[in-house]
Amino acid sequence: MPPAVVNRDDRGRATLRAVRIEQPLMLDGRLDEDVYEAVPAAGDFIEQLPRSGVPATEQSEVWVFFDDRNLYISARCYDSHPEREVVNELRRDNSNLVQNESISLILDTFYDRRTAFFFQTSPLGAIRDQAVVDDGANENWNTIWDVKSGRFEKGWTFEMSIPFKSLRYAGAGPQVWGFNVRRIVKWKNETSYLSAVPASYGTGAINRIGVGGTLVGLETPAQSINLELKPYFVSSLTTDRTAAVPFSNDLTKNVGFDFKYGLTRGLIADATVNTDFAQVEEDVQQVNLTRFSLFFPEKRDFFLEGLGIFSFGGVSSGTIRGANGPTDPEVPVMFFSRQIGLSNAQTVPVRVGGRIAGKAGHFSVGALNIETGDKSSAGAVATNFSVFRLKRDVLRRSSLGIIATRRAPAVGNDGSNLLAGADANFQLFDNLEVSGYYTRTSTPGLKGNDVSYRAKVDYSGDRYGLYGEHILIGDNFNPQVGFLRRDDFRRTFGQVRFSPRTKKSRTIRKLTWQADVDYITDAPATVVQNRELKGEFGIEFHTSDRFWIDYRRDYEFLPKNFDIATGVTVPKGGYDYQSLNAYYTLGQQRRVSGKVAISLGSVYNGTKKEITYTGRGIVHSRFAVEPSITLDWITLPYGDFTVRLINTRVIVTPTPRMALSSLLQYNDSAHTLTSSVRLSWEYIPGSQLFLVYSDGRNTFAGGVPGLMNRSVAVKVTRLLRL
């Protein structure tokens, strides 16, 4: 029998009953309908941080309703000092919302403890959604839903409506879903949950689906056509004086569409014709003083649906990296969607493409085929990209899978580049993960040494941590539909951590001591390429400020001369160096917040000094400035140079569905000044208007920077949901 409203097991996991209503809720955030008096709320949230397992200090009440079209979630959030609420972020999908007063909920619609949908809002009615796969989040996934917030003298409220068509689930009729709710009271730096979660999971615990509660009593509508068509129109005026054949004020117009059809409630087919990326934000520049490539995340809408299914070996397929352990930068991405439609920092026309992604029983399946056109200025020829991914759920939260990719023609070759591999991921107990993969590529002209494999063990308890990894990448391993930072290496990495929480301090919440050992050779293990010993100490304060300091001793072997800067070449050979690095992060409850970092040390027989600041200044809850400054002073026997990278973003958010942002970036080492202004307006849910201006200028000659390129674009989309 389902519970009257909510009950709990001995581990604090809640089972909540959804209640059918006959009339749709009127979304206004007031919670003044009779149903709120007739149906008792679920409450008694359990604190995760700072004191795990005790009742939350601020009361929260949650209701779940549904009708034949929508799922409704409402909440009343009491606050003993509502005037102290930290509410300064309104941009859609922005991660800063975690640093605000907020409520988040997770819906495990297949009840498989592996995949889920995440929704978050705040007292301002902010909108943030994600797709979760294997405890990792695709932060750029979007769907159609709505929320309205309100205030009362003792806190704030909200009402949320999620159409069933916006979700993926097993089928029609009675449902049992995984469910949890997180509340963040930022002015206290307190996090609590409807169903208890361990402190060791940190702020991302909402995505740990396996420890969530259960939602019962829900009935989804009968199977109906699930079809979406999203046509677009775009026009742009472009000048490019750096192209092989320079041009000015070139006017272009185009139309296209995205098509989405639900084969089942869990398996979705997508198609795209003449895909355009005019609305995509400009990448933020990064300082790179290494000889390896930088990684930039995927931001294009078409590639974000079901992206987590294509993740392989515990590494994301194109969203933000760094969520899967300390060794991510060295681990190859077997499918990196930014290989499609981009070449030499230029867009390449995507003519047509199709994809199937979703769940079918115990299997997760993803298949993609896309055809791109040629573009001589980008050095791109017409190319076909194909990807196939299959995963089988095993045990409670583990999986086995395979992947295959193909690119034809291969880069610089008339043949095809192929990749095939298998992976395994075992989530054991609450904090232990064991995973690994084996892959091989085939590229015309490259024979042998085309293998990559990895084995990883990660114990991530709250007080203790232990991490070990071994990875190999052959010198002919060549995933041309993926991302590879470096090849021809074998790496062994180990890390130990001790991080006790204080019990009596009113200032310090947690202390961390950590030690890392990193040892990299070439693939045959005959030449040491890198060696690093690192010791770290960190302090987490109750205010959410953080202090961190580390000391590193490094060895690096350069197999050939390295042009580290214009006119400065580091000779090949072996180099020992060391550095001392300190960081301080200011919590976002302040008007001015951010991270300050200072680094002092030696590099390539010389010295390096670096200062960075990445911050945020709050002018108003709907108006913010985000400056970022990186200054490097490098002194080497082969030449001295300075790197200055400065960028500033200004954001105005009149509503949760409208944002005006500008980005100004100055890079003195590249002698460039770039700027962009972007207006995005979701005029109805799922339909958008974009106005984008961008330009790039050359600062090398001094005086007024000369124009290199400029673009003005307008794009309109309209979602038709049947």
The whole-angstrom separation of Cα 96 and Cα 585 is: 14
- 237 and 206 belong to one structural domain: no
- On average, the pLDDT of the chain sits at 89
pLDDT band at residue 667 using 50, 70 and 90 as cut-offs? confident
pLDDT class of 257 with cuts at 50, 70, 90: confident
At residue 305 the predicted structure's pLDDT band, cuts being 50, 70 and 90, is low
Whether 622 is in a domain gets the answer no
Task: Name the band, by pLDDT with cuts 50, 70 and 90, for residue 588.
Answer: confident
Per-residue model confidence (pLDDT) at position 320: 36
Tokens of 459: 């114990």
In this structure, are 130 and 20 located in the same domain? Answer: yes
Contact criterion met (CB below 8 Å) for 488 and 473: yes
Could you report the per-residue pLDDT of 595-624, keeping only the tens digit for each? 999 999 999 999 999 999 999 999 988 999
- Rounded to whole angstroms, the Cα distance separating 96 from 614 reads 13
Please indicate, yes or no, if residue 696 is contained in any of the structural domains.
yes
How far apart CA 170 and CA 163 sit, in angstroms, is 16
What pLDDT digit, counting tens, does each position of 152-209 carry? Answer: 999 999 999 999 999 988 888 999 999 999 999 999 999 999 999 999 998 889 999 9
Do the domain assignments include residue 269?
no
* Band (133; pLDDT cuts 50, 70, 90): confident
Which band of pLDDT confidence, cut at 50, 70 and 90, is reported for residue 325?
very low
Q: In the predicted model, is pLDDT for residue 507 greater than 90?
A: yes
| Per-residue model confidence (pLDDT) at position 290 | 46
> Are residues 241 and 114 part of one domain?
no
Q: Which CATH number is 69's domain given?
A: 2.60.40.1190
Are residues 137 and 242 part of one domain?
Answer: no
At 463, is the pLDDT very low, low, confident or very high (cuts 50, 70, 90)?
very high
Domain region containing 702? 232-247+656-722
Q: Are the CB atoms for 277 and 399 separated by under 8 Å?
A: no
Query: What is the per-residue pLDDT for 397?
Result: 84
**Which of 398, 316, 401 minimizes the C-alpha distance to 112?**
398
Chain position carrying tokens 């000369």: 706
Residues 102 and 236 in one domain: no
Which region holds residue 111: left if phi is over 0, alpha if psi is between -120 and 50, else beta?
Answer: left
The pLDDT assigned to 299 comes to: 59
Report yes or no on 51 lying in a domain.
Answer: yes
* 75 and 167 belong to one structural domain: yes
Per-residue pLDDT at 560 exceeds 90 = yes
92 and 116: one domain? yes
Cβ pair 532, 518 in contact under 8 A: yes
679, with CB counted inside 10 A (0-12, 13-18, 19+), is middle
Q: Please tell me the least confidently modeled range out of 523-532, 536-545, 658-667, 692-701.
A: 692-701
Domain co-membership, 243 together with 110: no
Q: How confident is residue 224, by pLDDT bands cut at 50, 70 and 90?
A: low
Give 646's pLDDT tier (boundaries 50, 70, 90).
Answer: very high
Q: Do 239 and 112 share a structural domain?
A: no
Q: Are residues 57 and 202 in the same domain?
A: yes
Q: How far apart are CA 631 and CA 643, in angstroms?
A: 6
> What percent of the chain has pLDDT above 70?
93
Q: What is the DSSP secondary-structure string of 345-413?
A: TEE--EEEEEEEEEEETTEEEEEEEEEE--BGGGTB--EEEEEEEEEEEETTTEEEEEEEEEEESPTTS
Query: Is 294's pLDDT higher than 60?
Result: no
554 - beta bridge partners? Answer: 532, 577
Tokens of residue 354, six digits: 């199709």
| 131 and 89 assigned to the same domain | yes
* Residue 707 in domain: yes
- How confident is the model at residue 10, as a pLDDT? 81
Is there a single domain that holds both residue 242 and residue 147?
no
Domain count, the chain: 2
The first and second tokens of residue 12, run together, are 């604090």
The predicted pLDDT at position 479 comes to 95
pLDDT in tens, 366-408: 999 999 988 887 788 999 999 999 999 998 889 999 999 999 9
Band of residue 296 on the pLDDT scale cut at 50, 70, 90:
very low
* Residue 211 included in any domain: yes
Beta strands in 267-324 (DSSP E): 267-275
Rounded Cα gap, residues 635 and 602, in angstroms: 9
Residue 26 falls within a domain, yes or no? Answer: yes
Would you give the distance in Å from CA 722 to the centre of its chain? 30
b/e 220-244 (16+ beta carbons within 10 angstroms → b): beeeeebebebebebebebbbeebe
Q: Look at 2-11, 283-292, 548-557 and tell me which has the smallest mean pLDDT.
A: 283-292
**Structural domain includes residue 367:** no
